[in-house]
């Protein structure tokens, strides 16, 4: 087999992003990025793709695309290698059937390529044995030879070292399932697992993740619920999840393969949190934003800052953020104050869009899910119909789970912070690789001021407030020059953090001891939520030492160094305590 190799060097224009630490954004170019490693292979057809996939080994893999589609261009926006290999077609008369597909998969898990992989009447046993030898992931990928999503399925099975099998059902191509048809589909999937002698009744068994890579209905029943959140249970009312489900989608040519390649080869260089929900709903994105703010540049638009003007300022002409977490209001085509038309072209990204019907009809490009996926998102989380706010997971717990190494499907679909009433099969769905785990890597293009802010947050989380204050002082004093034209906003963001540190240090002086909460997670969650530091620092003493708290509040009010909001919160607390504690 001969290949022509063409080296293409791309010039990526500077993309300006924003930082909003509590209030305003600042400019910094941040992209999702991939490792500077193998070239991208562009092949002409399915057979050549499979032969190229068979050249993968457990130690060496490379991205493969069929033809020069828009999805290839999206991928190249974030992949660091500038080289492209154009492969000539592989000629052959052998049918692309189940045996050939399994041979290609097995070949990709060893050295030697397809020529070294003989036909076998028991490929299932060979896959299971090689999966064990390579310590593969507890996942299963289901597709079939005629499915448009097949190549993406093969890539994910190979890249994650998962089990792979073929699912044939009369439900393919349908818009929805009847409630009485759902058990039939569930039984077909369970039967395939049993053929492998795999346990799957609960999480922690042989199969914890299922990728569906074929045209199955997304919803079932007259009051639509997600098929993917029901086939993973033992019954309709069961609250026990057997495995987490993700779905590859071929709404446009090359989309499913793009979903797989992005998941396997790209990392995440920046995040944007956009939150229109009121704090009273207790689903604030602020803690999740701060949870990763020391790892990659993380940007927050919340409250009055969450508007379409700021959205466009940060995401146009091409969205540079690899992770977008959005709490908004709307339906299939509207989100908050925006519409489908306000979804930008994007570098490869994952989108968590929490509101009514955000993932309904993802095959259509005029819906929110369809627009994001067609314009560069490779993973999308949302709802197929109205789920109610209580059904969405707690954002802080989602981000902490991801930081702890859990795949997105586990982080999003494990019902973290969800009311008991929403633990049965419901309406949330994940479009993409369920085993995807964001690899957070700060981009090389990050400016010094942003890098120092991340350093300051790292020191804060370790309880080193004084060190963090010194780092932030370098920005606010002008020692570090922020990029223009938004440098003043970046400086203001640093001032807001610095001001809160000064408040905390004042309280430590009042107590004549170090704050015992410096490394406490609950303390930091309150900090990120914007709670009054006066309440946070003495919170453990309020119930038993109200008099002490009242004195501390009064001293802090006299010392000043509070913004108007903090002063009012402090006065309200003093009034409340005075009502409970008679003056002596």
The predicted-structure confidence for 119-148, as pLDDT tens digits, reads as follows 676 778 899 999 999 999 999 999 999 999
Helix axes 123-133 and 98-107, enclosed angle (nearest 10): 20
* Cα 1 to Cα 19: distance, rounded to the nearest angstrom: 49
**What is the greatest pairwise CA distance in the chain?**
97
- Lowest pLDDT segment from 115-124, 393-402, 523-532: 523-532
Average of per-residue pLDDT across 65-80: 94
SS3 82: coil
Greater confidence, 544 or 88? 88
Rounded to two decimals, what is the model's pTM?
A: 0.81
Phi, psi of 271 (to 5 degrees): -135, 150
Greater confidence, 484 or 365? 365
Q: Is the pLDDT of residue 361 over 80?
A: yes
pLDDT 10s digits, 143-175: 999 999 999 999 999 999 999 999 999 999 898
What distances in angstroms separate CA 342 from CA 16, 255, 331, 348, 371, one per listed residue?
18, 21, 14, 17, 10
**pLDDT at residue 281, rounded to an integer:** 86
* Cα 285 to Cα 403: distance, rounded to the nearest angstrom: 15
Share of the chain above pLDDT 70, in %: 75
Helix (H) or strand (E) holding 491: helix 487-511
pLDDT 10s digits, 44-60: 999 999 999 999 999 99
**pLDDT at residue 84, rounded to an integer:** 94
Query: pLDDT class for 518, splitting at 50, 70, 90?
Result: low
**pLDDT at residue 530, rounded to an integer:** 62
Q: Is the pLDDT of residue 228 over 50?
A: yes
**pLDDT at residue 14, rounded to an integer:** 27
Greater confidence, 156 or 578? 156
Average pLDDT, the chain: 81
**pLDDT at residue 430, rounded to an integer:** 97
């Amino acid at each position: 087999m001969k290949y022509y190799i063409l080296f293409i060097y791309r010039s990526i224009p500077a993309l300006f992003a924003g930082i909003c630490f509590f209030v305003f954004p600042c400019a910094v170019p941040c992209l999702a990025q991939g490792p500077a490693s193998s070239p991208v292979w562009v092949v002409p057809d399915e057979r050549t793709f499979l032969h190229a996939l068979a050249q993968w080994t457990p130690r060496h893999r490379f991205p493969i695309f069929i033809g020069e589609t828009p999805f290839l261009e999206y991928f190249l926006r974030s992949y660091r290698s500038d080289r492209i290999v154009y492969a000539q077609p592989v000629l052959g008369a052998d049918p692309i059937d189940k045996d050939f597909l399994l041979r290609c998969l097995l070949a990709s898990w060893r050295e030697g390529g397809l020529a070294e992989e003989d036909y076998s009447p028991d490929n299932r046993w060979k896959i299971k044995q090689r999966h064990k030898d390579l310590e593969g992931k507890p996942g299963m990928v289901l597709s079939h030879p005629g499915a448009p999503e097949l190549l993406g399925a093969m890539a994910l099975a190979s890249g994650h070292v998962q089990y792979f099998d073929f699912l044939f059902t009369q439900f393919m191509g349908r818009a929805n399932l009847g409630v009485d048809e759902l058990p039939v589909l569930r039984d077909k999937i369970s039967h395939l697992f049993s053929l492998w002698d795999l346990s799957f009744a609960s999480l922690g068994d042989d199969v914890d993740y299922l990728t569906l890579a074929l045209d199955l209905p997304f919803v079932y029943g007259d009051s639509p619920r997600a098929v993917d959140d029901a086939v993973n249970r033992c019954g309709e009312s069961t609250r026990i999840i057997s495995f987490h489900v993700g779905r590859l989608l071929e709404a446009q040519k090359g989309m499913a393969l793009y979903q797989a390649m992005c998941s396997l080869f790209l990392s995440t260089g920046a995040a944007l949190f956009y939150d229109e929900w009121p704090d009273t709903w207790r689903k604030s994105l602020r803690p999740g934003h701060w949870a990763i703010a020391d790892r990659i540049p993380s940007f927050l638009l919340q409250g009055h800052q969450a508007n379409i003007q700021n959205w466009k300022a940060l995401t146009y002409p091409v969205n540079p953020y690899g992770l977008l977490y959005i709490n908004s209001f709307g339906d299939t085509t509207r989100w908050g104050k925006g519409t489908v038309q306000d979804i930008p072209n994007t570098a490869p990204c994952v989108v968590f869009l929490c509101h009514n019907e955000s993932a309904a009809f993802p095959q259509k490009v005029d819906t929110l899910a369809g627009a994001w996926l067609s314009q560069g998102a490779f993973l999308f989380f949302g709802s197929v119909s109205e789920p109610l706010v209580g059904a969405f997971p707690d954002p802080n717990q989602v981000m902490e789970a991801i930081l702890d190494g859990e795949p997105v499907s586990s982080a999003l679909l494990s019902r973290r912070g969800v009311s008991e009433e929403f633990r049965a099969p419901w309406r949330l769905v994940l479009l993409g690789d369920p085993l995807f785990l964001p690899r957070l890597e700060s981009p090389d293009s990050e400016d010094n001021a942003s890098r120092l802010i991340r350093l300051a947050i790292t020191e804060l989380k370790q309880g080193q407030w004084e060190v963090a204050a010194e780092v932030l002082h370098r920005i606010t004093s002008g020692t570090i020059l922020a990029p223009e034209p938004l440098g003043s906003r970046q400086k203001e963001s640093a001032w807001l953090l610095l001001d809160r540190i000064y408040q905390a240090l004042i309280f430590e002086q009042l107590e004549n001891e170090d704050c015992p909460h410096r490394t406490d997670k609950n303390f930091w969650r309150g900090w990120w939520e914007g709670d009054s530091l006066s309440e946070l620092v003495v919170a453990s003493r309020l119930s038993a030492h109200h008099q002490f708290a009242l004195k501390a509040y009064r001293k802090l009010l006299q010392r000043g160094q509070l913004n108007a909001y903090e002063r009012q919160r402090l006065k309200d607390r003093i009034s409340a305590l005075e009502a409970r504690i008679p003056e002596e």
